Chains A and B, each alone.
Chain A
Amino acid sequence: VQLAESGGGVVQPGGSLRLSCKVSGINFSIYWMHWVRQAPGKGLVWVSHINSDGSTTGYADSVKGRFTISRDNAKNTLFLQMNSLRPEDTAVYYCALEKITVSSLDYWGQGTLLAVSS
């Protein structure tokens, strides 16, 4: 099982960016997926999740209304659309696949770095 994030970079405050997570080696379409972030030198923060068919999503309060999670099961890809970015969104963003039990993050990508700075 492999998860590979992409799309990170440097964005100005107020800007937008879309992260992608390509999943291989597993039947992507039947699993819930999550985004977790980690600011430099800080701990893990859960960001968002989406169910297998994309009909159910959830967000941390800190990103609600600004971030949108989605997926394309035909392309085995998870997305995170991030709008109205703030400096405090600066972090490594990981995608993770939930397999064993509710919200257990069994497989992780290597992470992609977002820096929000002017």
Chain B
Amino acid sequence: DIQMTQSPSSLSASVGDSVTITCRASQSIRSFLNWYQQKVGEAPKLLIHSASSVLSGVPSRVSGSGSGTDFTLTISSLQPEDFATYYCQQTFSTPTFGPGTKVDIK
């Protein structure tokens, strides 16, 4: 199975900050990478598919990039509703998720 890692595992930020989360695959997954946001007590929500395609309705401050083994999720100008846990997911082979990155308020 392809292993996914994320860094950092958690971060503290303030409203208005820009944050970047990194996701790394154990082998090339081309652009088969999705990003999800999960708030406490809620189901995950798909934000980005295919590494950089932002879903309709997702704020423009959210962006994704990368290909091969290294990917990033960037949220510019963090808003109160962005405080959540973010997961990457590879879909190049049997799907696997990264361990998650918790973004909380500083």
Number of interface residues of A (CB under 8 A): 22
B49 touches A104 (CB 8 A): yes
Contacts of B96 in A (CB 8 A): 46
Contacts of B43 in A (CB 8 A): 94, 108-111
- Does B72 sit within 8 A of A, measured CB to CB? no
B46 touches A43 (CB 8 A): no
Number of interface residues of B (CB under 8 A): 23
Select B89's contact among A60, A103, A111, beta carbons within 8 Å. A103
B97 touches A43 (CB 8 A): yes
- Does B95 sit within 8 A of A, measured CB to CB? yes
- Does B34 sit within 8 A of A, measured CB to CB? yes
Select A43's contact among B45, B53, B91, B99, beta carbons within 8 Å. B99
Residues in A60-95 with C-beta less than 8 Å from chain B: 60-61, 94
A45 to chain B: closest residue by CB:
B97
Interface CB pairs A-B, < 8 A, 21: A36-B44, A43-B87, A43-B100, A44-B87, A44-B100, A58-B94, A60-B94, A100-B46, A100-B49, A101-B49, A101-B91, A102-B91, A103-B32, A103-B34, A103-B91, A104-B49, A105-B34, A108-B43, A108-B45, A110-B43, A111-B43
